[in-house]
Amino acid sequence: MSTSTIDLRQPSTLRAAIISEWTKLRSVRSTMWSLVATSVFTIGLGTLFCWAFINRPHRDLADSFRFDPTSRSLRGVFLAQLAIGVLGVLVMSSEYTTGMIRTSLAAVPRRRVGLVAKTIVLGTASVVVSMISTFAAFFAGQAVLSSGGVNASITDPGVMRAVIGAGAYLTLIALFGLAIGTVVRRTPGAIAALFGIVLIFPLLAQALPDPWNVDVGKLLPFNAGQAMFSVRVDPDLLTPGQGLVVFLTWIAVAFILATGLLTKRDA
């Protein structure tokens, strides 16, 4: 059997790899700081933006009519994605930087098993922190907005789906970062690649002539992810379901490339 093939008859191998990856993840200081930053940005900035809207001078009826309280309370996600994306990159790239990757591969010679273990551990930690943060951001933001009578309820149409979608988006960004970190291997280059794909590509797409700017832009990870936590769906852009499928496609391609390179390249 190839050392890069997962043997499903030996679940203890994957279990041991997961335990090892969890130990490494929680023992690294950058992990805690990245997850704390994700929560602070998501909850703190979302609440701050809601407070700014309520206390903005010269707010008229038209502002309230166009206002999306759910979107306002989730705006911290746009900065939080950078913190959790960097965490995803570091889970793999830091091992290449320190040389720890040789020890990891010696302990778990089946490289695909090691990558699956990292994905499970990172995904679990990310989804827990992300979901708690997005729900906390929503309820904190709506508590602020309630003083102005423009708050939303979690039972309103599309609201629960948007809050869950925001948490899912942050989780997927972390996994996307892991895949990019596996491909690039070096932390600065991997972070630059992640930021370029997530942040720069949408700006470049906007420079394209009509209708390419819309047709291309909506298929990029950031815009597809944003559709996942939008309450008011733009008819020219993706629906939440389509956004999820597109983003998952980006991640699948990234992991296919990462798996291929991980099994072929030397440590």
State the residue for tokens 């279990």: 15
CA angle 114, 119, 120 (to 5 degrees): 100
Residues 198-212 have pLDDT tens digits of 999 999 998 998 888
Tell me how far apart the alpha carbons of residues 100 and 11 are, in angstroms, rounded to a whole number. Answer: 24
Task: Provide, rounded to the nearest whole percent, the portion of the chain with pLDDT above 90.
Answer: 60
Residue 221: asked if its preceding bond is cis (omega within 30°), the reply is: no
- Check if the beta carbon of residue 39 is closer than 8 Å to that of residue 133: yes
- Would you state the pLDDT for residue 3? 40
Instruction: Say if residue 162 is exposed, middle or buried (CB neighbours under 10 Å; 0-12, 13-18, 19+).
Output: buried
Residue positions counted in the chain: 267
Tell me how far apart the alpha carbons of residues 128 and 22 are, in angstroms, rounded to a whole number. Answer: 14
What sign for the dihedral angle of Cα 180, 182, 183, 188?
Answer: positive
Residue 140 C-alpha from the chain's centroid: 21
pLDDT along the chain (267 residues), means of 10: 44 82 86 94 96 76 69 94 95 86 77 91 96 97 89 92 96 96 93 94 90 90 91 84 95 95 80
**Contacting residues for 233 by C-beta, under 8 A, at least 6 apart:** 227, 239, 240
- Would you state the pLDDT for residue 189? 94
Q: What are the residue boundaries of the structural domains of the chain, listed by start?
A: 11-264
- Would you state the pLDDT for residue 8? 43
Residue-wise over 9-38: b if at least 16 C-beta within 10 A, else e?
A: eeeebbeebbebbbebbeeeeebeebbebb
From the list 38, 47, 51, the residue with the least C-alpha distance to 75 is: 47
Tell me the whole-structure pTM to 2 decimals.
0.89
Residue 97 C-alpha from the chain's centroid: 23
- Check if the beta carbon of residue 154 is closer than 8 Å to that of residue 138: yes
Residue 235 C-alpha from the chain's centroid: 24
Count CB atoms within 10 A of the CB of residue 133.
27
